[in-house]
Amino acid sequence: MSIRKIGTTVVAAALFCLGTLGIAQTSRHVVVHAGHLLDVKTGKLLTDQTLVIEDGRIISTGATTEAKIPPDAVRVDLPNATVLPGLIDAHTHLTMEPRFGYDRLAISVPREALIGAKNARATLLAGFTTVRNVGASGFSDVALRDAINAGDVPGPRMLVSGPALSITGGHCDNNMLPSEYHAVSDGVADGIAGVQHKVRENIKYGADLIKVCATGGVLSLGDNPQASQYTLEEMKAIVADAHRLGRKVAAHAHGAEGIRWAAEAGVDSIEHGSYIDDAGIAAMKEHGTYLVPTLYLGDWMIDNAGLTRLPPPLLAKAKDVIPAARKNIAHAFASGVKVALGTDAAVYPHGMNGHEFAVMVRLGLTPLQAIQAGTVNAADLLGWSGKVGSLEPGAWADMVAVDGDPVKDVTTLERVKLVMKGGEVVKNEYGK
């Protein structure tokens, strides 16, 4: 048996064992009674609402007095809670942890898959029932997605990118080992022919979307976050092939020029956007590009720099980028760019994703706008409107419940008390 087959067998066996933590089969009919239900599209807080679920999808919602309840339904009664759609994180790295130094070189692809199983569960229990995973080695995120879909392990619904595309020596390449190792990340591709091949290869091996590193980054050696990496022509080639093959494109982009080029090339979202300027804002608004700003990580990284042993060159970049990002993204919010919530979870521990809402509000969004960024807006970005991000007939029965009114206090979303995915309660601190 080859080494690759042995590795795959180990991962499959381990995921099978982890499956004992999974979720029982969904009952055919489930009825949820909500004392309060937040309509995230309008911001209205509705009272005494009932949702009827069949085979994991919502078939009706409305006033309890008008609900037609199947006689065999399992009932979930939440008379004092506020129910809203399951939350969506459009920028995660479930197979990664907060490791920023050379110790991350010791993590194998099979180990990443197992790390992902742990983090998927933590993310789901935090109320994030859908995520977009934008970057993972060796297609470990594809394996994790498939294991969750098969019911082997608990976790959110996932759209995954596989390895992020990078220029040689760019932010998403392996720049930590000396030349004699000839280390190259599996997403590296240069030139138009090279990036076309890599897009097609990623799709071949299971990618739902394409992630591209359009500029340098913070948590990488030898690159400048403000410097563009791919040329405009290469970016256009990436987007053209991805869109023609039915995949959206997410562009890691800190620098102003890279943001503008990525928007002009037609990417679907800009991740981070730290040095976004008026020209980039105009290009994004013209092309309908979403901003996924990943803000809370700045608070966590600075507060925990000693704990994570962040190498000095990376800490220096973080101290430059984070204040600039706060100022520029607040300006982008005020300018009316479309916003979807993303956290970059893995830069800080998974399961803390809900802290993102409060930072978005601190930088200028209303609480409702922040909630919409993590529900209906993110669903639109993912191409899953009507499936996730709202509680309406035909949508998957993914929802969370909290105490109080999240429109008045968005930090309630850091303390989710109940989580349902596909009509199955996976967390309930209210009891039966």
pLDDT one digit per residue (tens) for the chain, 432 residues:
443 443 444 444 444 444 434 334 445 899 999 999 999 999 999 999 999 999 999 999 999 999 999 999 999 999 999 999 999 999 999 999 987 777 778 889 999 999 999 999 999 999 999 999 999 999 999 999 999 999 999 999 999 999 999 999 989 878 777 888 887 889 999 999 999 999 999 999 999 999 999 999 888 888 899 999 999 999 999 999 999 999 999 999 999 999 999 999 999 999 999 999 999 999 999 999 999 999 999 888 878 866 667 788 888 888 899 999 999 999 999 999 999 999 999 999 999 999 999 999 999 999 999 999 999 999 999 999 999 999 999 999 999 999 999 999 999 999 999 999 999 999 999 975
373: CB partners within 8 A, 6+ apart: 339, 340, 341, 360, 365
327: helix, strand or coil: helix
Q: Which two tokens stand for residue 262?
A: 């990525």
For 84, the token pair is: 């809203």
**pTM recorded for the entire structure:** 0.92
Where are the CATH 2.30.40.10 domain residues in the chain?
A: 29-85+391-428
pLDDT at 2: 42
Which helix (H) or strand (E) covers residue 90, if one does?
Answer: strand 87-92
Identify the residue whose tokens are 């990664």: 96
In whole angstroms, give the CA distance from residue 187 to residue 230: 13
Cα separation, 20 vs 22, in Å, equals 5
Whether 72 sits among the annotated catalytic residues: the reply is no
Q: Is 241 a catalytic residue?
A: no
Q: Sign of torsion, CA 194 200 204 209?
A: positive
Tell the CATH topology of 87-382: TIM Barrel (3.20.20)
Instruction: List where CATH 3.20.20.140 sits in the chain.
Output: 87-382
Task: Indicate the fold that domain 29-85+391-428 takes in CATH.
Answer: Urease, subunit C; domain 1 (2.30.40)
- List 211, 236, 421, 427, catalytic entry: 211
**b/e sequence 387-401, b meaning 16+ C-beta within 10 Å:** bbbbbeeebbbbbbb
Give the per-residue pLDDT at 87: 99
Residue whose C-alpha is closest to residue 128's, from 413, 407, 362: 413
Catalytic annotation, pick one of 268, 344, 380, 398: 344
N-terminal to C-terminal alpha carbon distance within the chain: 49
- Where is 38: in which H helix or E strand? strand 29-38
